[in-house]
């Protein structure tokens, strides 16, 4: 999973800000400034976009991401 996560983060870094490219790497907005993408069918990566930087913040399955979002409110 670690290799998949790194490969996905590199794709996100290269594709963020290019909306036509987003569809291929499955970037999805979860909340203002909070986005997710998938490394595989189960694992999702959550990152924060702020002032020109993407910060990786969480990795987990669907339920884990839901719990993460509840904690952000």
Q: Are 7 and 37 a contacting pair, CB within 8 Å?
A: no
Pair 47, 55: CB distance under 8 Å: yes
Q: Which residues of 35-60 are buried (b: 16+ CB within 10 A; e: fewer)?
A: bbbbbeeebbbbbebeeeeeeeebbb
Q: 4 or 66, which is more confident?
A: 66
pLDDT tens per residue, range 5-37: 777 777 777 666 665 554 556 788 899 999 988
At residue 64, the pLDDT reads: 95
The confidence score (pLDDT) of residue 69 equals 94
Three-state DSSP class for residue 53: strand
Domains of the chain: 2-72 (3.30.2310)
Threshold 0.85, pTM exceeds: no
């Amino acid at each position: 999973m670690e290799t998949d996560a790194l490969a996905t983060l590199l794709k996100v870094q290269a594709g963020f800000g290019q909306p036509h490219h987003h569809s291929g790497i499955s970037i999805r907005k979860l909340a203002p400034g909070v986005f997710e993408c998938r490394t595989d069918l189960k694992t999702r990566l959550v990152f924060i976009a702020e002032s020109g930087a993407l910060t990786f913040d969480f990795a987990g399955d669907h339920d884990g991401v839901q719990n993460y979002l509840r904690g952000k409110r």
